[in-house]
Chain A
Amino acid sequence: MTARIVVVGAGMVAHRFADSLVSRAEQDISLTILGEESRRPYDRVGLTRFFDGAGAEDLELDPAVLEDPRIRLVTGDPVAQIDRAARTVRTASGAELGYDHLVLATGSSAARPPVRGAEHPGCFVYRTLDDVEQLKAHVERRASQLGRPVRGVVIGGGLLGLEAAGALQGLDAEPTVIQSSDRLMSAQLDLPAGAVLRRLIEQRGIAVRTRTRTTSVLAGEDGEVHGVVFDDDTVLETDLVVFTVGVRPRDELARAAGLVCAPRGGVEIDPSCRTSDPDISAIGEVASFEGMCVGLVAPGYAMAEVAADRILGGGATFAGYDLSTKLKLSGVDVASFGDAFATTPGALDVVYTDPVSGVHKKLVLSDDAKTLLGGMLVGDASAYGALRPLVGGALGGDPAAYLMPAGGVEAPTAELPDEAVVCSCASVTAGTIRGAVHEEGCTDVAGIKACTKAGATCGSCVFAIKGLVGAELAKMGRSVSTALCEHFEMSRAQLFDAVRVSGLTTFSSVIERFGRGRGCDVCKPVLASILAVLVRGHVLDGENATLQDTNDHVMANMQKDGTYSVVPRMAGGEVTPEGLIVIGEIARDYGLYTKLTGGQRIDMFGARLEQLPEIWRRLVDAGFESGQAYGKSLRTVKSCVGSTWCRYGVLDSVGMAVNLELRYRGLRAPHKLKLGVSGCARECAEARGKDAGIIATAQGWNLYVGGNGGATPRHAELLVEGVDDETLIRTIDRFFMYYIRTADKLQRTAPWLEALEGGIDGLREVILEDSLGICADLDALMAQHVDSYQDEWAATLADPAKLARFQSFVNAPSTPDPDLAYVPERGQVRPASIDERRSGDVLIAGTTLEVRR
């Protein structure tokens, strides 16, 4: 005999039930699905895609499932009554249908709060395709009536509210989200995470009010909504209201039929998904398990599998709810899983916050820090897929590694055991995905979806799948890398954050934790620069000394023959006659070739390693300090003579240049930094070719940023206009620090600015409008730099340990390199060419006396 199975409700869970039942049933069955909505089952989770242009057909769930001849789908005719004694159901249109087993999958309906005026036209809920169609029609109609963008109030700041707000924005309406509690998504996020989410949401143009209750909705004379009143009696004008304050299980049929329902609503079920009547099951949002209904699709799918298995004679049980969620709300990733609020006694948490990129991540660990209990991710939830399967198990690694920016460390998914469930929607394990790569030749997420159904439902596991596929491909010798070098998988910006968050201060500890091996000439100088900004201290302190690039090693620029050039700082290009005399004497005494640089100062070439301390002793005694011509750091601030002498000058450009050079001297950066200051629009200092160019106007200073000479010249762009000294300096401070924090290795400000999201406008928002809330941090970091500046050369001269590094040979500390050879030219010397060496025309060998002639 054919078993007659009837499902009430044609929603997502009903669809999954049908899929599971018919794909596994070997016996004869007939399945009738009775739906109230006049549509075929559709993807409610993806409802908001409707506003991105997805039509009703795009949202339809796999139609192939319902094409099975054993299935009959009836839409637009709700079930009105269940007769348990007769085992029949009757629909609103009067049709009667007998069942051997009945499945309730009626879902929930959106709640409307008891707010006065909530019935006015212009008030909506957000649950069905009909709801969103009406909402869209209303927005379009009102916008054309009013001739301006429509304003919308969304009441309820949970996930639905944020989806609705994003949808309104997609319709060019201006949304405001009203939340009664102290933060957005209070069911999933704690206060700090909620605060980060709020900032990200506001950044996207959605206004947010928390701790606000709505008491009534006002209608205008035309009967249309025109405002809402809050509990503090303030009024907010609006053209529509969307209520997203929760859902109520649709248990009315079950109650009328006398099935046991939970006090808080929902049809009670046991672990086999049976109701109090063994011939009736309930699945999805309408089912109440252990006193609770849950508005997530994954547990509903799990129930659908259990119910189908039971009907087919199996013994599957529903294990309880997994409340983990991962969502994308208006483009912001949010995820929450396991014991996210750390309610387990003794639970520890590890929190990572990066205000620059708007990321907040928290992991909850057992008291011994070994077992993962749960977590929250805001802004970047890419680790969710890897972490969720680990809940309740050993984290198997440094918790911090999981919190670093995506791609920052070896994908944690690589360590997932084969049996870990990666996609809970489709119950697909890591092993199955690995198998699909090896045996089915899948090379991307799309392939895995097609092969295994993993990733095809809620999509939250897509990153984990990507990681697994990438790791498998890499094992097969195919991969792409964005790593700094073989020792660090991170980019410079990621490494900067890693060092900042971990608080590590030495190269050894950083590479041990975040890298491998002992580093190289790529990553060591990068770390040297990062540590110089975050930890400060002398470039030659302890282990730091070994990280420095060739030139920083000895605080001079290496020349082609292995000798060095010496460049004392001449801030703003200014030098006194006494200073010139000292330089002249030193250059003469050591036989150094002397030249003016393109950076408005004097360079002396041909100093040997062992001579550097003596030369610098004389320079420091005469009041000079290191010009850092060697460092990836501030070089020079070029100036024109300006208002003090020039007949056209409007402001004191030399004074400002000196000021700026003294402020930023010694500041280490991803690449060198140069500034220029011109006293009027004639621009004699070529300021617009600099990283920061300042030009005086009658209204004050104009600041241009992101200029560059070199192989790819670029003019700096105007950032602020007509500002006073203080504003100018504060703006440059923030510009430099923001660059230092986020640029890639050896990326100068010009390409950095070009790659920056939003370009110069984006930069303006961050450093002038504080859109990321980091200006205070940037200011503090710069203040620390200014306070801790010390002249590297003076400090070195005072430290015998550092001076030992300047010996020419370990066993002959002051013997000059015997291979150096020079020839005279235009009254000075230069290194001999190979031919000159061969022909023996070398007049001068590498010792001071001979050079003096």
Chain B
Amino acid sequence: MTAQTLDPATAPEASWLRVCRVADLEVERGRAALLGSTQVALFLLPDGSVHAVDNHDPYSGANVISRGIVGTRGEAPTVASPMYKQVFDLRTGACLDTQGKDPAALRVWPVLLQDGDVHLLCGDAR
């Protein structure tokens, strides 16, 4: 596999970009993906859905979100940053537990699963 050259943060037009196969992911254990200079954290949930959020942790400044513990808060599927334990909603990127810090959210990418491949909607789509 080779690194994609298209940078989803700066791509001029919205387009679906194939990132990996669903089979490359493990349930409830995140993986990072590199799209140009942007890092995305991918999560496969027990219901088969895949979520994509920033790998960059706004609280610590390190690229570690993909290495956090996946779980739930009420109905919301979540990931807890491995650095200082802030908890984010995987569906919206909203921070559900800021550990007393100011609110900061993760960017969320729309995900398309097709023929066992994971595609992200890149570019300034939203």
Is residue A795 within 8 Å, beta carbon to beta carbon, of the partner chain? no
User: B62 contacts A561, CB within 8 Å?
Assistant: yes
**B69: A residues at CB distance < 8 A:** 520-521, 524-525, 546-547, 549-550
Q: 1/0 per residue A583-627: CB within 8 Å of B? A: 000000000000000000000000001000000000000000000
Tell me which of B61, B64, B73 contacts A558 (CB under 8 A): B64
Q: Is A203 an interface residue (CB 8 A)?
A: no
Do residues B4 and A811 form an inter-chain contact, with CB atoms below 8 A? yes
Give every chain B residue within 8 A of A815 (Cβ-Cβ).
3, 34
Say yes or no for B70: interface residue by CB 8 A criterion.
Answer: yes
B34's closest neighbor in chain A, by CB?
Answer: A809
- Give every chain A residue within 8 A of B19 (Cβ-Cβ): 810-811
Residue B114 lies at the interface, judged by CB distance under 8 Å to chain A: no
- If A810-B25, A810-B32 touch, does A546 touch B74 (CB 8 Å cutoff)? no
Partner of B80, one of A521, A546, A809: A521
In whole angstroms, how far apart are the Cα atoms of A519 and B1 in the complex?
A: 33
A213: interface (CB < 8 Å): no
CA distance A486 to B80 in the complex (A): 15
Interfacial chain B residues near A543, Cβ < 8 Å: 27
* Neighbouring A residues of B42 by C-beta, 8 Å: 810
Residues in B neighbouring A818, C-beta threshold 8 A: 34, 37
Q: List A residues 284-323 near B (Cβ within 8 Å).
A: none
Q: How far is the CA of A487 from the CA of B45 in the complex (A)?
A: 17
Partner among B33, B68, B74, B80 whose Cβ is within 8 Å of the Cβ of A811: B33
Please determine whether A520 and B27 come into contact, CB atoms closer than 8 angstroms. Answer: no
CB <8 Å contact, A546 and B27: yes
Q: Are A517 and B72 in touch, CB under 8 angstroms?
A: yes
B83 within 8 A of A: yes
A170–B62 Cα distance when bound, in Å, is 64
CB distance A812 to B87 under 8 Å?
no
Q: How far is the CB of B66 from chain A (nearest CB, A)?
A: 9
With A and B bound together, what is the CA distance between A815 and B42 in angstroms? 17
Instruction: For the complex, give the distance between the alpha carbons of A73 and B69 in Å.
Output: 72
Known: A517-B71, A546-B28. A558 touches B46 (CB 8 A): no
The count of residues in chain B whose C-beta lies closer than 8 Å to any C-beta of chain A is: 42
Residue B77 CB within 8 A of the other chain: yes
**Contact assessment for A520 and B87 in the assembled complex, using a CB-CB cutoff below 8 Å:** yes
Chain A residue numbers with a CB within 8 Å of B51 are none
Within 8 A of A (CB), among B61-118: 61-64, 67-74, 77-78, 80, 82-83, 85, 87
Residue A518 is within 8 A (CB to CB) of chain B in the complex: yes
Contacts of A437 in B (CB 8 A): none
> Are A486 and B74 in contact (CB-based, < 8 A)?
yes
In the assembled complex, the CB of B121 is this many whole angstroms from the nearest CB of chain A, namely 16
Structural contact, A808 and B32, CB atoms closer than 8 A: yes
Chain B residues lying within 8 Å of A554, measured Cβ to Cβ, are 67
A-side interface mostly: loop
The answer to whether A817 and B63 touch (CB under 8 A), given A486-B73, A810-B19, A810-B33, is yes
Q: Are A519 and B72 in contact (CB under 8 A)?
A: yes
**How far apart sit A751 and B120, CA to CA, in the bound complex (Å)?**
49
Q: Which of A545, A562, A808 contacts B29 (CB 8 A)?
A: A545
A571 to B3, CA, bound (A): 43
Map CB proximity to B onto A789-815 as digits: 1 under 8 Å, 0 otherwise. 000000000000000010111111101
Question: A806: shortest Cβ distance to chain B, in Å?
Answer: 11
Most chain B CB neighbours (cut-off 10 Å) among A517, A521, A808: A521
Contact with B along A520-556 (1 / 0, CB 8 A): 1101110000000000000000010111011001100
**Chain A residues with Cβ under 8 A from B29's Cβ?**
545-546, 805
Say whether B49 faces chain A, with CB atoms less than 8 Å apart.
no
A853 at the binding interface (Cβ < 8 Å)? no
Do residues A521 and B71 form an inter-chain contact, with CB atoms below 8 A? yes
- Are A521 and B46 touching (Cβ within 8 A)? no
Tell me, yes or no, whether A698 is within 8 Å of chain B by CB.
Answer: no
Let me know if B80 and A520 touch, CB within 8 A: yes
Cα of A813 to Cα of B34 in the assembled complex, Å: 10
- Could you tell me if A550 and B34 are in contact, using CB atoms closer than 8 angstroms? no
Q: Is B10 an interface residue (CB 8 A)?
A: no
B124 at interface by CB-CB < 8 Å: no
Q: Which residue from chain B places its CB closest to the CB of A553 in the assembled complex? A: B67
Residue of A487, A553, A819 near B82 (CB, 8 A) is A553
Nearest A residue to B82, CB-CB: A550
- Assuming the contacts A520-B69, A521-B68, A550-B68, asked whether A810 and B62 have C-beta atoms less than 8 A apart, the reply is no
CA–CA, A622 and B64, complex, Å = 31
CA distance A813 to B20 in the complex (A): 12
CB-based nearest B residue for A813: B1
Instruction: Answer whether residue A478 sits at the interface, using C-beta atoms and an 8 A cutoff.
Output: no
**Minimal Cβ-Cβ distance residue in A for B17:** A811
Question: Which A residues touch B33, using CB under 8 A?
Answer: 809-812
Cβ contacts under 8 Å, B39 to chain A: 809, 817, 819
| Cα(A811)–Cα(B34), bound, Å | 7
A518-B28, A521-B69, A810-B25 known; A562-B1 Cβ under 8 A: no
Chain A residues closer than 8 Å to B67, beta-carbon distance: 550, 553-554, 558, 562, 609
Q: Is B26 interfacial (CB 8 A cutoff)?
A: yes
A827 to B67, CA, bound (A): 31
**Do the beta carbons of B20 and A518 come within 8 Å of each other?**
no
**What are 12 residue pairs bridging A and B, where the CB atoms are less than 8 Å apart in the complex?**
A518-B46, A518-B70, A518-B77, A520-B80, A521-B85, A550-B67, A807-B31, A810-B20, A810-B24, A811-B2, A811-B33, A812-B1
Interface residues of chain B, those whose CB is within 8 Å of chain A, are 1-4, 19-20, 24-29, 31-34, 37, 39, 42, 45-46, 56, 60-64, 67-74, 77-78, 80, 82-83, 85, 87
Which 3 A-B pairs give the minimum distances between C-beta atoms? A550-B82, A520-B71, A562-B62
